[in-house]
Structure 1
Amino acid sequence: MNQKTQVRVPDIGDFEDVEIIEVHINPGDTIETESPLITLESDKATMDVPAPFAGRVESVLIKVGDKVSEGTPIVDLQTTETADSSTIDSERESGLKSTETLETQQVSEKKNPSQKSPEIQTNPGSSSNGNPASKEPQLMLMPDMGDFTEVDVIEVLVKEGDLVQHEDSVITLESDKATMDVPSPLKGTIQQMLVSAGQKISKGQKIALILPESDDSSQPVASEPIVKMDSSPSDVLKKPVLEEKSTSGRRPPISEPVDQQQFLKAHASPSVRKFARELGVDLSRVTGSGRKGRITHDDVQKHVKQRLSSPSQSQGLGGGVPPIPEIDFSQFGEVEIIPLSRIRKKGAEHLHRAWLNLPMVTNHDEADITELEAFRQKLKKEAADQNIRLTMLAFLLKATSTNLKKHPDFRSSLSSDGQNLIHKRYCHIGVAVDTDEGLVVPVIQDVDQKGVYELAQDLGNISEKARKRKLKREDLQGGCFSISSLGGIGGTAFTPLVNAPEVAILGVTRSKMTPQWNGEEFIPRLMLPLDLTYDHRVIDGAAAARFLTDFCLLLADMKRLLL
């Protein structure tokens, strides 16, 4: 028979005015016995206050931030307990709470509340005197899992003939809000499974036939277990819940090496700690999104999903890259969250993939561009009359196309199986362009077939399109080599990353006048720093050195382009 019951804070030891840091329920929720109602945090510990019985939440009498003591009203419940009112009253007055209780279809006789009850009570199929048939298969039914109907069975964790312990997981369900296991109500042998993966299931539906073990045959069996309280609620609250481990026989979805000291220091409630242990999660690796950085159930689930989708989890120990730990920077001061642009996210993904897959090496050199720069200055006015901005990059493109003909491996790609080198007969060169949205690398087509003025014009056009976000897909495809120039900004050297599936990239920084020894004296020369990064699977150090040496000769004397 339903009746309204007010749940109060139980005896929580020598604590008064303890702060509520989380409320786990809302009016209208259906809760089970031992479901956490609120989480309290003192200066010494964090603890959950569980429901002493199952029922429906009528009203929540507290909120986050309130301070409570023993006897403070928490919630009004419409209970479905079959215990008599004196039992409920005594529990209410003393603040007692029981451990896990699920509602039953029928209880044949009332038990004395002061007396320990057996774990499992009678099934409707039992005889009128409450004694079940000896060693008969018992039917396991789907218990009340809250406001869930037609829930998908995503995994069957046991098979016929398996021995299961009481509370061992039998099946796993997944709704649009949560994933949950359904435990066995008794110890015994699975005689027949009545559900399969992919099936939908609701309350009361048959799950399995279980043959009880001999030590359970003297106990009445139910389709849903009822666990009665074996200790006082104050004892339960004072027990080291932090050290509780999962009793389920199911293997955790992930397995992380757990630093026990850091695990215990993690800011999380006992129920979250238990949840983390069941999933194999080290709480010290989880970033809390709750108040004061507290870790919630959602944070643990999010961490598991990230680990399952990461290469390091799928490849096993040592097979992946350990993730950078998440940090709540707001604990150190004010922060601002700025979403990454689509270009930055795509670029980061591409560069990360290249970094993980390519063994990259960088060679550095300097080119004497004294005469080349003087030549460029002479042509600037002539180019300006044609509305062309003649930069050093146009000359670098022309020299690169000539050098690539002499060193064809530098405009190749390695086949996906790593067995062949693909030489490209065309010469399309990508040029890194800095935009407000991030770095893009548009491609200039047929560089080897164009003059310096035409290349300078192409550079101006494609750079303007990039900054106005008007690049088309074809503008970013087909490159066989790339150039990244920081000369207009500064710097003396850097390590550009190869734009895979290309095998090399040339980096350029700001030129400067330096004294150079000509065999008789030091003379001022304009030197241009060059950085060549390459895929070491295709290009070795000697080949890279020869490429740069020949490139420096071309820049030092552009007449070599005619040879």
Structure 2
Amino acid sequence: MLAARLLGPSSRIVKFNKHFHTARATFLPIVQFKLSDIGEGIAEVQVKEWYVKEGDTISQFDKVCEVQSDKAAVTISSRYDGVVRKLYHEIDGMARVGQALIDVEVEGDVPAEEQPKKEKAEAVQESPKSVPSSAAEVSNNNGKVLATPAVRRIAMENSVKLGDVRGSGKDGRVLKEDVLKFLGQVPSDHFSGSTNIRTTHSAPAPAAKSYEPLKEDVAVPIRGYTRAMIKTMTEALKIPHFGYNDEINVDALVKLRGEIKDFAKERNVKLSYMPFFIKAASLALLEFPSLNATTDDKLESVVHKASHNICLAMDTPGGLVVPNIKNCEQRSIFEIAHELSRLMEAGKRQQIGREDLLGGTFTLSNIGAIGGTYASPVIFPPQVAIGAIGKIERLPRFDKHDNVIAANVIKVSWCADHRVVDGATMARFSNRWKFYLEHPSAMLAQLK
């Protein structure tokens, strides 16, 4: 008796927990949220990041996870309101279309085929207590309280008014943790009386790189972008490549960029040299549309593309990826720079979308960003041409008076599909591109 008195409310909480878990198994069914068909013939994806963990409350359209196929990164959103009960895959694990990603505990009836086999086998037959219909419409002075059905169920089972609970979710949404804290089952945060259990930890200092030799062989699975590039480059081997190299004096371009760099910064534009290279290529393609083209599978026709969707070969943590900037012929240099920055940031996070990878018509690769000069780029089929741009070097050159001067020079390496592009066309295109870079003011004449 003395022990029972000492326990007091705690024992009632234990009893509530026992009843709640029993009722939950019956009246809050489990749904398997499966990976839907993404399209493009994708059969499996790699899980790159989870946005939820077991026990989290989610709503429809909340982000569940980020997955990576061999074609693009895709964000998977929830179709249900409820509580996450199980994650089926680890980070970097492979998930196949039609397989379960997570289990979600939801409110309401669920078709039998969507319930996990374990839940169907172990469902408890106990009847629930009747719940007043008005309880689902709990409101505070500011209107209806934001909460998912699962959270409302917890509140109703414990006779808690949601209007009395401080919500820590988005827009004041009441989460499961908030209700449990109100009941005294979960401690509040230490600082400032906050009721949000998600604490923010300071980022750890980056670890020093280690270059110790491997102790044993390591098998690295080929996934993501690399798997797509294997298929593409295998097709590229069928193309007879024609190469053409040249060098360009970019003194005028260096001067122009220096003059407008601060102007671009005022407009939140990171202005590198690459947007100038892209725009010059687009202007040259207006004169040589046969290079802004693709071939069909049987090589029966070459399609000269109206849009200049210029691809950029990018080095990302997930491997080589080739997104494109759409309609460069219609964009200013600043607009191209903005798109370039967006794609580079997405590449760093391995979150380049499918639309950014489709529809490319011509490709440039900036090997100079790493430090090279000349290269032998490989055509990105079904395109017919690609260029690799080297780093800017300060080199001695002769001026028109035969005086030795210091000049800013870049090297470019072009490759074209020699089945449909002749060498003279490639050389003329390169000369026009070179002209725009050596006389960047000429680009102004092309503005509309």
TM normalised by structure 2 equals: 0.50
Structure in which a larger fraction of residues adopt helix:
2
Pick the structure with greater CA Rg.
Answer: 1
Q: Which has the higher contact order (CA 8 A, sep 6+)?
A: 2
